[in-house]
Amino acid sequence: MPRYELALILKAMQRPETAATLRRTVETLMERGAVVRHLENLGERVLPYKITKHNERHSRGAYFLVDFYAAPDILPGLLNHLHRDVDVVRPTVLKKDDPVPSSNCCANYGKDLVYI
């Protein structure tokens, strides 16, 4: 199965709500037959620009990274679901390439850098 990563920008919320949203998201993924590999938190930061979503203007967001294995045909449905979620500001699913064989450069800080 190909390997995807979901770059998730959530609304700046309190911790329990964020946890609940994350749990919801991961459960959705697993319901659709994905295998979640890792969940990373990239911190809560100022968004590069103000984003308006679900009638609300966001200037700060919490960045999360979920990498998972899934079949390609669930992605449209998944994205649709995530767009409808009120707490999700911006979902982005990217395909993950195979890691290049590590050479003599700075590739040791995270084999898969994500540019947000």
Partner 1 sequence: MFQVIGGKSVQVTTAAAARLLAPRSSVLVEAVRGRKSRTDPKAKSKEGRIKVPPPVDPVEMVVLKERYTEYQLIMRALRLEFKEEVLRKKYEEETGSQAEERARQEAEEHRALMAWNDQENLRLLKIRMMRIQREEEEAERKKIEAVLKREQEHQEFIKEKEKEILQLQEDAKHFITMENLDQRIEEALDNPMNYNFAIDKEGRVVKQTVLK
What residues make contact with partner 1 under the rule CB under 8 A?
A: 15, 18-19, 22-23, 26-27, 30, 35-46, 64, 106, 109-110, 113-114
- Single-letter amino acid code for the residue at 17: E
Nearer to partner 1, 55 or 100 (CB): 100
DSSP 3-state of 55: coil
Nearer to partner 1, 64 or 74 (CB): 64
Identify whether the C-beta of residue 70 lies closer than 8 Å to the C-beta of residue 32.
yes
Helices of type H across the chain: 15-31, 75-84
CB of 30 to partner 1, least distance (A): 7
Minimum gap (Å) between residue 23 Cβ and partner 1: 6
Look at the block and give the residue holding tokens 């938190």.
41
CB atoms within 10 A of CB 107: 14
Closest to partner 1 by CB, 55 or 104? 104
Nearest approach in angstroms of CB 103 to partner 1 is 13
